[in-house]
Amino acid sequence: MKYRNPKKASDLFSFLELQKEMTSTIKGVNKLNSLIDWELFRKDLEKLLGYEKREVRKGGRPPFDPVLLLKVLVVRSFTV
């Protein structure tokens, strides 16, 4: 074999296709942000995830924002 086979994600056209997919997904997220008031869920999510009981004095990595986690789940469910 004279030339190596490029990986699917390593050529220019695959990169452009991926970029196009990502920008369309971002548009979808922005549409959802304009329709849904995500902050309404914050208190319930913090309770469900146990953030209220977390002791900051013990240290450790700070938890992810619960609203961000919800957004990821919602967007992921639409893209599957």
40 falls within a domain: yes
Residue 69 inside a domain? The answer is yes
Please state the domain count of the chain: 1
- Interacting residues of 70 by C-beta distance below 8 A, sequence separation 6+: 38, 41, 45
The answer to the question of residue 4 being in a domain is no
Given a contact cutoff of 8 angstroms between Cβ atoms, the answer to whether 46 and 63 are in contact is no
Task: Decide: pTM greater than 0.85.
Answer: no
Range of the domain at 60: 10-79
Q: Is 51 domain-assigned?
A: yes
pLDDT digits (tens, 9 = 90+) for 21-77: 777 766 667 778 888 899 999 999 999 988 878 777 787 777 889 998 998 888 878
Query: Is 2 domain-assigned?
Result: no
21 lies in some domain: yes
**Residue 70 resides in a domain:** yes
- At a CB cut-off of 8 Å and minimum separation 6, what does 15 contact? 9
The pLDDT value given to residue 59: 79
How far is 27 from 71, CA to CA, in rounded Å?
14
In a domain, 48, yes or no: yes
